Amino acid sequence: MSFIAALPKAELHVHLEGTLEPDEMFRLAARNGITLPWESTDALRALYSFTGLEHFLPLYFEGCKVLCRREDYYDLTAAYLRRAASEGVRRAEMFFGPQTFLDRDIPTADQLGGILDAIADARTDSGIDGALIVTAQRHRTEAAALELLEALRPFRDSILGIGLGSAEAGNPPSKFARFFAAARDEGYRLTCHAGEEGPPSYIREALDLCGVERIDHGYTAAQDPDLVARLADDGVPLTMCPLSNLRLQVTADLSTYPIAEFMKAGVLVTVNSDDPPYFGGYVNDNYAALQQHLGLGPQELAALARNSFLGSFADRSEIDRALAAVAEHEATAS
């Protein structure tokens, strides 16, 4: 674990709302006069055993109700970035879904303002480079996604990219092809959750119909050898989340997790935490789980760290500096 702890890495698949620790959830609830449906943090944690996304998401959205004011979003983001920096994360490209909070009439300026302030402060205080990817929720309509895009316009220069998340089953990427086209026209980087619970065809749709640059999850690509070859040939990054996939029963056993298979095929796979308190671990815990269950050694772990920077939307100069840091760490540890 010591090799992993100091290994420079990027995290490309983490939902800010999903980094809300139970203690912090109860603290924010008290601050905002909200009564949670659980009597204690232990009672809440006892529910962190899921049968799938359909079981997890209601609990996730219930927790989001404690985020009410600008300082809540600041505190949420600052806490995650401090934790990430302590785990060797040098760059974090974080997802956030404003639609959840717009439903409660919380201004976009309060939501994004708190997040962006925390990113700026963390860059100075912890040296971690944070960036924001705003996600639309696929259980809603494409019209709602386009409305979200319009609401983001005042913040365009501060947002790195646009993504698509939430319940995948029955909500194919093709449903949002016009949304992604509009986001591309605005100059955003594009990524899409696909192939978590959805079939390989959803990954193909995200690439072919939505023109995304990166696939979030991509687990089910393992069912389609031609798709795996295409991902490798085209250099499409996958932001995989082992502990999330285990907790949501996407995979039954990490000893058969396809990330090693993808690596051997030349796919640019990365390791991430998704919603860490809910799924049993932050990014280093995910690296450690792969080390334990797949027998990955320092060379493979360093390769995954390199992939995390190569798969990022960072400037090339920043990527090159990070790759040099990974190489230095690998050489020192050998």
Catalytic residues, which ones?
196
Domain boundary assignment for the chain:
2-333
Cα–chain center distance at 74: 18
**pLDDT in tens for each of the 334 residues of the chain?**
689 999 999 999 999 999 999 999 999 999 999 999 999 999 999 999 999 998 999 999 999 999 999 999 999 999 999 999 999 999 999 999 999 999 999 999 999 999 999 999 999 999 999 999 999 999 999 999 999 999 999 999 999 999 999 999 999 999 999 999 999 999 999 999 999 999 999 999 999 999 999 999 999 999 999 999 999 999 999 999 999 999 999 999 999 999 999 999 999 999 999 999 999 999 999 999 999 999 999 999 999 999 999 999 999 999 999 999 999 999 998 7
Q: Which of 177, 86, 71, 76 is nearest to 127 (CA)?
A: 86
Q: What's the CATH code, domain 2-333?
A: 3.20.20.140
How far is CA 16 from its chain centroid?
Answer: 8
Instruction: Return the pLDDT at 268.
Output: 98
Which tokens sit at 242? 């082992």
pTM, two decimals, is 0.97
Q: What own/partner pairs with CB < 8 Å and gap ≥ 24 does 247-252 have?
A: 247/48, 247/49, 247/50, 247/56, 247/278, 247/279, 247/280, 248/50, 248/52, 248/53, 248/56, 248/196, 248/197, 248/279, 249/50, 249/51, 249/52, 250/52, 250/196, 250/197, 250/217, 250/219, 251/219
**pLDDT score, position 334:** 72
Nearest CA to 215 out of 231, 199, 197, 233 is that of: 231
Beta bridge partners of 129: 91
